[in-house]
Structure formats: C-alpha cells, structure tokens
Amino acid sequence: MKYIYRRECFSKKLYGKELPIFSYKEIDSTNEEAKRFLADGSVEQALFVAESQTAGKGRRGRSFYSPAGKGIYMSLLFTTQEELSDVIFVTTAVAVIVSCALEEVTSAPAVIKWVNDIYMNNRKVCGILTEAVLPTEQCHKTGVVVGIGINVSTDNFPDELRMVAGSLGVKAQEQEVKEALIQSVTEGLIDFLEHVKDHSCIEEYRKRSMVLGQSVICFDGAGSYEAKALDIDKQGGLIVETLSGERKVLHTGEITIRLCEP
C-alpha cells in the first residue's frame, strides 16, 4: 500500500511542499479536527483519516454514523483566496473523485444524487460535507474542509439506518477494499488540489447524475416545491424548472427524487 496511516504525520509532495496526512484510531470528527488545525495555524493543507468517529457530521446538522472498522472517514483541509461562491464547486469535484474511486475498486457503478450523496445499487454509500471557514488572525485565507464518509459495511448498523444506508458489499475483503479506496481517493484529492480551478469534471458529474430528467422536490429555507431537474451548471449548481415554468439554479438546499404514483 502506498499510503500507510499512523497517528504521526505522513506527507506527500505538493507544489514542492509537504501535504500532511494525520490518522486517528478514534476522533470526534475529522472535519472538526481539520478546523482545529486551521484555527491554531498548524497547517493550511492536510488530510485527516480516522478509523471511527464519535460525532461524525452530516449536512444540515445531522450526524453521520461512523463505527469502527465499518467505513472510511476522512477530511481534506486546504485554503484558498477565491470567493466563497467558488467553493461550492468543490463538493461536485470530490463527488466525481469518490465515485470514480468506488468504481475502480469495486467494479460496480456509482451514481451521484445532487449535490453530495453517492449511491450504489440504489442505496446511499457515501456522503460528502464541505464546510468553509472564514479567515482568522492565524490564517488570512478562506479555509475549506471536505469531509468524506463511505460505508464499507453496514453489519451491526442500527435497524433504522440499515433500512436506508447502503454498503460496498465486500465483507470478505473489507480491509483490502478500505486501503485501496483510501489510496485512490487520496490520490484523486491531491490531483484536485493541483488543478483546483479545472472544472472539466462537471461533464463527468452530469453523466453520473441520478437526478437529471427526474421530477424532484426541492427544499430550501423558505419551504419546498416540485420541479424537474434539467442540468448542472459549471459551478455544480442544479438547474431546475418549477411547475409554473420558472427556472432556478440551486447552490444550497436539498432535493429528493419524487416517486411516481403506482
């Protein structure tokens, strides 16, 4: 295996600098750890990986179940001088990176539910949480933390989660698959950092979308409404058309695919 994770820092050359990679047997949240490192000025770019999380984070304040040995929990930290509006694209790029890694390792198709969920066999197997951190006295750049949670196995998951969560279904080779995925995703993230302004992944994102052409229910701060998902713009925004014919571009909020009546 190319990357060996211990509690001490491993590193990879990036633009002539070292990219630290920190590993933990257990932590509250890799996203929170990344923000702590950024807050005290320790690093501006790093990768954090944990075997388990006691307070894994999902979108909109939800928790992400992160039991030991059953998944991959990792966060990429980097800084940027770009406007916050440009950071939205990051989740889109990372979704493509993880989808490609999943297919490479498992040989099973992976599709994306806008904007941050990855599905295999009609079940969610991965969630991505991107958080922006405003400049501080220690770091004058905008910090971006991208959390990735992948369910390798759902054995011993609570019943309510097993009803909706999917896994890679590789019980006999769980450890080998985890190591291969960590390596593949890490290499993809490093390549992304080297080409962070390259938006060519949008076309791949469109191909992998499970929502384009579908009737969806959109949720925003004002409520919900029905629409049809039409396209993905160059920043990763979802272009929808409401029942009244109005077109909107969603950069925040959530959607669900509207199931047709039998």
In terms of Cβ atoms closer than 10 Å to its own Cβ (0-12, 13-18, 19+), residue 216 is buried
**Cα dist from 44 to 3, 19, 177, 194, whole Å:** 20, 9, 29, 15
d(CA 131, CA 77): 10
Out of 8-12, 157-161, 201-205, least confident range = 8-12
pLDDT per residue over 202-216, tens digit each?
999 999 999 999 999
Report long-range pairs for 224-228 (Cβ below 8 Å, ≥24 apart). Answer: 226/258
Per the CB < 8 A criterion, the answer to whether 73 and 49 are in contact is yes
Which residue did the predictor score with more confidence, 10 or 213?
Answer: 213
The encoded tokens of residue 180 equal 């291969």
d(CA 154, CA 170): 11
The encoded tokens of residue 67 equal 């039991």
Please state the φ and ψ torsions of residue 154, each to the nearest 5 degrees. -110, 15
d(CA 124, CA 141): 34
Alpha-helical regions (H) of 4-119: 30-39, 84-87, 89-106
Other C-beta atoms lying within 10 Å of the C-beta of residue 255: 21
pLDDT per residue over 233-261, tens digit each?
999 999 999 999 999 999 888 899 986 54
d(CA 223, CA 137): 37
Say what the pTM is. 0.87
